[in-house]
Structure 1
Amino acid sequence: MASTSGHNGAVWCCDVSRDSSRLITGSGDKTAKLWDVQTGRLLFTFNFDSPARAVDLSVGDWLAVITTDPFMGVTSAIHVGESILILKGPKGRINRAVWGPLNRTIISTGEDAVIRIWDAELWDTRELTLIKTYVTERPVNAVAMSPLLDHVVLGGGQYAGDVTRTVHRAGKFEAKFYDKILEEEIGGVKGHFGPLNALAFNPDGRRYSSIP
């Protein structure tokens, strides 16, 4: 495996293609970069007006969704591909945006404690239609949609700077499961003692992993 070098700031996120041949990274240097995994060669650079917070490749790896932070008067935004579509985000930072099953939706989460599901099928409109929202009581850092059931899992919690002043229960560090259709919470999994920053389902939909 090769190493990659080319960003001029912290790398905050990455995603690898389904065949493990391509890697996309997002950085505080206001770029997202596409790499050849085997050689480490830089293939393409996406340039933005603010830091790239999250990246996610679509099924088929022909599109990428990239979120950018609020920065110097620039609002947060969701970018698809080489900005074939730009969606201005809500107030505050968008922490994560991922593709739903079969690229039919995009799921975004952020500091405003709201999870939004956008209809991504009608590209000719050059806009996304908001079709679902899930309101929580805490900032959301990570989200994943089950490939098997109509379930969405989300994670986040109290900011790290405040964690030491509270017990872990008050920090709301558990992963929460929601019914995608009914928009209702259906369960939760505890165990972490800090904010959840990454979530992913196994391809069979029967297991998931979480990273604080």
Structure 2
Amino acid sequence: MPSQQRTHQVSFNLCLPVVHLNFSELQDDGTYLLISSCKDGNPMLRDWTGDWIGTFIGHKGAVWSAKLSRDTSRAATGSADFTAKVWDTYSGELLHSFPHNHIVRTVAISRTCSHILTGGQEKKIRLFDLARPDADPQFLGEGSSTSHEGTVKSVLWVGESGSVSAAEDGLIKWWDLRTRQPTSTIKFGSAITSLEICPQKSTLTVTSGKTVSFLPSVPGSGPTHSLTLSYAPSSASLHPTLGDRFVAGNLGDQWVRVHGMDGTERDVLKGHHGPVHCVEFSPDGEMYASGSEDGTIRLWQTTPGKSYGLWQGHTNGN
């Protein structure tokens, strides 16, 4: 049975379903940021204590993806309004807006903030140069009509000249951004529902059907590991420092689950009132976030009762 309301969770209410979350990398002072994507079209930025910093205003449709740069100075967003946008996280200013011909489902920003990648329902992956925002984008898989044969659900940066993408065609593709051609491909039996990278472990976490797979971020550089769960996870996130557990969401119920790496269910967390679209661990592993159809973001402590971040000023969930 699911756990009862816990003292190690705090929630934030948004207007419409929360479909994507992204923590920044850990900064030199031990802090980080969290950005959320919501169907209300207003991505929000929060600090590591959960406090609201600001909302990026400018999209005219649901925001499906939002990512932060390595140094947290920039954010990239992709939307149902057929645009990807790049923002200054200090001022909230819109820096660039890039038009597309269909819904943008995923974005990624390079570690040096020099380029962004986008993908979506056009089945194409575009590479934009932020130093030349008015220039035409380059396309991954150049010479082909599409980059994938299904909607591109996720793009990630790997190093400065590589990327990896996942799509509803069940394919994970690694790309050399210098040649814009794929270097390796893995086929899954079902559509890919989420793809996340854990930089500390150099590991990709992939959900497809009822399977959660852990792959080296560079093909052939490490072992792969796959588990079959009793449900089809909407997304999953690996503990970034311990690597001994992962958290998963599910569109089939309202619970957040924590599993060991053998698939054992360690915890079932109750709090959402709608299906869970997305989950992600903070970069220090001290908490994880979940976003739901119920329009809330919930933050959960990895170690209940520990005085940490927003729990230094909160005594119970809300």
Q: What TM-score comes out, normalization by structure 1 length?
A: 0.77
> Is contact 1:65–1:98 with CA below 8 Å preserved after alignment?
yes
Residue 173 (structure 1) aligned with residue 185 (structure 2): no
Where in structure 2 are there 5+ consecutive unaligned residues? 1-7, 141-145, 209-318
CA–CA distance in structure 2, aligned partners of residues 186 and 96 of structure 1: 21
Q: Which has the higher contact order (CA 8 A, sep 6+)?
A: 2
Q: Deviations over 1:55-86 (max 9, x none)?
A: 0001210111112213xxxxx11121135234
C-alpha separation in 2, matches of 1:79 and 1:101: 17
Seq. identity, %: 16
Q: Distance in 1 between matches of 2:34 and 2:200?
A: 23
Letter aligned with residue 157 of structure 2: M
Specify the structure having the higher radius of gyration (Cα): 2
Trace 1:85-104 onto structure 2 (pairs within 5 A): 85-104=95-114
**Counterpart-to-counterpart distance in 1, 2:33 and 2:175:** 32
Q: How far does residue 101 in structure 1 lie from its aligned partner after superposition?
A: 3.1
Please, which of 178, 194, 199 is the counterpart of residue 198 of structure 1? Answer: 194
Determine whether 1:144 maps to 2:156: yes
Question: CA separation in 2, counterparts of 1:203 and 1:105?
Answer: 19
TM alignment of 1:104-119, pairs within 5 A:
104-119=114-129
User: Residues of 2 paired with 1:114 and 1:3: CA distance?
Assistant: 38
State the AA in 1 paired with 2:22: D
DSSP-derived class of the 2:72 partner: coil
Q: Does 1:79 align with 2:85?
A: yes
Query: How far off is 1:111 after superposition?
Result: 0.7
Q: Which amino acid aligns with 1:22?
A: L
Q: Which residue of 1 aligns with 2:78?
A: 67
Unaligned runs of 5+ in 1: 71-75, 158-171
Alpha-carbon distance between aligned partners in 1 of 2:171 and 2:66, rounded to the nearest angstrom: 23
Question: Residue 188 in 1 paired to residue 185 in 2?
Answer: yes
Kindly report the root-mean-square deviation, in angstroms, between the aligned alpha carbons of the 2 structures: 2.3
Q: Given residue 106 of structure 2, which amino acid in structure 1 is its aligned partner?
A: R
Larger helix fraction of residues? 1
- The CA distance in 2 between the partners of 1:41 and 1:4, in whole Å, is 11
Aligned residue identity for 1:18: E
- Per the normalisation by structure 2, the TM-score is 0.53
Is residue 2:48 matched to residue 1:41?
Answer: no
Aligned pair in 2 of structure 1 residues 32, 197: CA closer, same or farther (>3 Å)? same
Q: What does residue 164 of structure 1 align with? A: none
User: Is the contact made by 1:143 and 1:154 (CA closer than 8 Å) also made in structure 2?
Assistant: yes
Distance 1:86 1:189, change over 3 A: same
